[in-house]
Structure 1
């Protein structure tokens, strides 16, 4: 799959970070951060996309961002 660049600005300079977020109900009440995501972001314009860490492999996340 060829990299097309950021959907917003066309830049091919991207980064990624892992983040965890609380859910709803008891997990929110006790601040249990059981929802884990990988955020891929454009270093030029800041456009970001979240990918579920459990269902995404790190090898294809940048390809998904640029497709």
Structure 2
């Protein structure tokens, strides 16, 4: 692995944050998660969150 690639990887890992959103059903977990993704720049349009393999999909009431 080149030093430049390793440096980019280290920066990406340093910026990563993991957290859990736990609550009762219909408490707004998907809506909150979608807002965080939208404001964080991970998605460009609110309304649906898809799993990586697109096997599961959650649609918000937004």
The answer, yes or no, to whether TM exceeds 0.5 is no
Q: Which has the higher contact order (CA 8 A, sep 6+)?
A: 1
> Where is the strand percentage greater, Structure 1 or Structure 2?
1
> Where is the helix percentage greater, Structure 1 or Structure 2?
2
TM-score by length of 2: 0.21
TM-score by length of 1: 0.21
